[in-house]
Chain A
Amino acid sequence: MALPGLTNIIARLWTSLAARLRGRPPVPFSVLYKKFKGILERHNAILELIGDMGDKLGGDYIFDRQYILDSCERLGDQVFKLISDLNLLCQGKNVALFTAFERIQLRVREELAGRRVLSRTDHILPLSELTHDLADEGGNKMASLGDIKNILGFNTPDGFVITAGAYFETMTRAELRKPVAESIRALCVSEGEGLEEKSRALRQAVMDMPLPRELRQAIEHAAGQLSSGGPQLLAVRSSAWDEDSESSFAGMYETVLGVAPADILPAYRRVLASLFCEEALRYRLHHELCAEEPAMAVGVMPMVDALVSGGLYTYAPLQEQDQVMVVSAAWGLGKPIVDGTAETDTYLLRREPPHELLSADIADKTTRLVLAAGGGTRTESVPEAERAQPCLSAAQLTLLAKTAMTLEHFFKRPLDVEWAMTPQGELVVLQARPLSIRPRACAQTEDAAEAVKGVPMLISGRGVTAMGGVSSGPVHIMAEGEDLSAFPYGAILVARHSSPRFAKVMPKCRGIITDVGSATGHMATIARELRVPTLVQTGSATRTLREGQEITLDADHQVVYEGVVEALCRFELVREDVFEESWEYRTLKRVLKHISPLTLLDPKSDAFAPESCRTFHDIARYVHQRAVDKLTSLAETHQDIRERAPRRLVTRLPLGLTVIDVEGGLDAAAGEEPDERDIRCRPLKALMEGLNIAGMWETSPVAVDMGSFMSSVTRTFGAEAAHPSRMGRNLAVISREYLNLHLRLGYHFTVVDAFLGGSVNDNAIAFRFMGGVTDLTRRSRRATLVAAILERSDFLVEVKGDMVTGRIKKHPTRIMLDKMFILGCLIGYTRQLDAKLNSDAALNRHLDIFLQRITAVRETRE
């Protein structure tokens, strides 16, 4: 494989090869066409590999380190060859593309080698941008808080994080990274000899090191903004790598509360230095973390002015009662509660909704900590009348319980949640970390299997796991087009079709079961992001399950049990290892960041260039586009083409279609003006049948309102002006089995690439649909409609903005030809549709109409 530098040599070789080629007669068209087809095949293979890698995150597969290494190697190899193929086709060098490749390849390798590549180089990141995807930048604790705020949508304080990147830069400039690594290595080798001394020396070095000026200014500026220039005090919290994750380091690092904005820098230093405190170094030693470089991100948040504060364990570590959560609460700020110095109320609540209150132990609370008017905190006595009062109402307790259980379902761990109630009655989540105490009963692993013996199975062995996990709750059957805002908290969503719309209720729902859907679709991706156990493609869940019925979903085993199988849910919570936290899962997810996102979207924009390629997917997309462009221009200019010159196909519909027949795509006897009867290309023939079928070609005049009309005019003019030579020209490159079709109809741009009629394994259709008139909302409605139709026709669908990509492969030719027929219908039907898609209701109506028509058409055909 390409070593650094090798690509440059190859690029230079291309230059000389190209120079020699220029002096020669042109390469025969058939050779170039073969190369073109090779590019398409490789392009598909690459996308398939990327898709496979993404699938592995779904939870259905067991994969290991070797799989990740092999896949990255194979993918890198394929992408490299794809670029070389393009160079051959275009007979030119493309140094910029090789450079982009090398850049991405290097990032992937760094990730694999355990040197995390920070995707954001900022020193300061606002909490509002943090999620676990930025756990490397923000550290675990702050990333979790980011998930709570930004994914689950709960209240947290505002704030920012001083990133691990800032830590590295500071340590690098102070030349401390090497001494740190050496100290830790020495400690590991000597099994802790001189640990106290080394700890002291490292902490002192951190306290004494200079902070880079820009960093100091950035921190002070951000802290000033957070306190709005006032006396608002701040909480400065550790958020180290590995803290609160598999290895916990719980409570070892420093948190400084009640920091005045002017004192932010010393507090930051103190938290940094705690990275090397004795407990943490000892922990590192005993948990085989010697090879991992430590890093400390630091979170900064305003202190919440709390009327009531407290903690909550979602699983009470009690002997007698295994099924309860425990809440402790006191008046004022939370510090005395966390420190254990305050008298607190203790409430026990049932874990299951509606979270019945089992007991309330109300303490005599004589003092409380409050924010002082002029800044700082002070302890005051609680007014006599309030001392023996419970500090939480029933409604507040329910809210707390629901919030905590939603967090537990997301993090898949019993949790310790720190919270506060503001004087306005708002619940604020301050922190959530895994409970180190495991529920007692969980050691009995046989429980789970024993508990399900004899429990009726409502669904078994059907469906595909889109996200693993176990959960229980009442069924809510979602009707098509139902208002999502009324979705009941804690229910399991059961629907006919999967839909990315469900993202909205995912934080509230315990699980998702659909009759139809794909484990690689958009909804599945979101379900994984939100960790909602999801089973798709069960066939008949909406008919098997009843509204309101209590069930337990075990997505790992594709089983739905009747009733709540508590032991099974408990089993899930006490697994020693959460898959999502394993090295393999995290590493695959990290490398995929450099592989699968598609950021090059619009071929007409200036950014559509090798320099902008950020992922392997981008490179594949770029090469594909360049190859198609090249073939199109070759078809117009290549001297070989004369005998198979582009011919205008006479069609019943006004398609303006030019065909280039490479091999057997048209009847040999066809003349200069072939018509539809001359088509021998099987995929094109099937597509034309779909286009021509009665009732599918939408011809009714479309009332375009002024807004969408204007936007359509500007859009189309803009797009057409970029390619004046191709205006109005639709092109199909065909052979007997192959079709590559570029079709601009109305305002849509469709690309179909199909190879049908070889072996089943070679059969593949790729369909892309983009552009269009009207505003973005309507265009994205149209994209949703197209995606829904494609999904129902078994295509694997991806939607990016208003671009829809559908792929299907490896079905018998007969079935694939039927898919081409459906694509024909779809192109005809949606040709002018977006102007009509003025509401979500219209979207659903058109989906129904289309499906009805296609059913009718099929019945007639059969």
Chain B
Amino acid sequence: MTSDAIENPASIPAKAPGGETARRRTSILVLDDEPIVCKRLKPFFQKAGYEVEAFNQPLEALARIEAKRFDVVITDLKMEGLDGLSFLGKVKSLHPDTDVILITGFATMETARQSFRKGVFDCVAKPFKLAELLDGVRRIEKERGLAS
């Protein structure tokens, strides 16, 4: 591992000692009150090379958003306690350049479309294919010049 890192500086992990990162990973926050969604999205995106944090509790996610800016936020539209649109509003007011992908139930697709005006990058309807979501994130990276 060590010798490999010396020979190939590009493989130094993002959290290299010394503060500045060699190559920053795109960061994603996932919020869905259905645990299964978090449980499956987190390893999927991690494996694809993303830095991922996943939350089932809207309030915890909110606290995290206040402490840290993420490149991409993926959130469910309908949750107990706080709906995705208010969460979206909060994210956008704190970090206008964070892109948001909304996950919606099939029935709420219309609400989701309306929220495009509020700065949602994309919507996917449950149940969705993993590849669809990855595609959305890649498009964000492309537009923001994040992709390596």
Contacts and interface: CB of A to CB of B under 8 A. Distances in A.
Interface of A: 56, 60-67, 445-446, 448-450, 452-454, 461, 554, 556-558, 568, 571, 575-577, 579, 582-584
Q: Which 8 A-B pairs have the closest CB atoms?
A: A449-B49, A63-B127, A64-B34, A577-B39, A584-B36, A61-B127, A445-B46, A67-B127
Contacts of B11: 450, 453-454
Interface in B12-49: 13-14, 25, 32, 34, 36-37, 39-41, 43-44, 46-49
Contacts of B6: none
Contacts of B128: 61-62
B50 to A, nearest CB: 7
Given A450-B11, A450-B13, A453-B11, A62 B43 contact: no
Contacts of B127: 56, 61-64, 67
Contacts of B44: 556-557
B3 to A, nearest CB: 15
Interface in B32-85: 32, 34, 36-37, 39-41, 43-44, 46-50
Nearest to B148: A453
B147 interface: no
Nearest to A63: B127
Contacts of A554: 47
Contact of B49 (A56, A453, A582): A453
A579 B44 CA distance: 12
B105 A449 contact: no
Given A60-B131, A556-B130, A446 B13 contact: yes
Interface string B113-126: 00000000000001
Nearest to A66: B105
Nearest to A55: B127
Contact of B47 (A65, A67, A461, A557): A557
Contacts of A453: 10-11, 49
Given A62-B41, A579-B40, A448 B47 contact: yes
A456 to B, nearest CB: 15
Nearest to B78: A66
Nearest to B51: A446
B130 A446 contact: no
12 contacts: A56-B127, A61-B128, A62-B36, A62-B128, A64-B34, A64-B37, A445-B43, A448-B47, A449-B48, A452-B49, A577-B39, A582-B39
Contacts of B130: 60-62, 556
Given A446-B25, A449-B25, A582-B36, 10 more contacts: A56-B127, A60-B131, A61-B129, A62-B127, A445-B43, A450-B11, A452-B49, A556-B44, A571-B46, A576-B39
A448 B25 CA distance: 13
A584 B34 CA distance: 10
A394 B116 CA distance: 64
B34 A449 contact: no
Contacts of B129: 60-62
Nearest to A444: B13
B131 A65 contact: no
Contact of A568 (B10, B37, B47): B47
A627 B86 CA distance: 51
Contacts of A67: 126-127
B125 to A, nearest CB: 10
A449 B50 contact: yes
A198 B44 CA distance: 43
A65 B128 CA distance: 14
B90 to A, nearest CB: 23
A449 B44 CA distance: 10
A64 B126 contact: yes
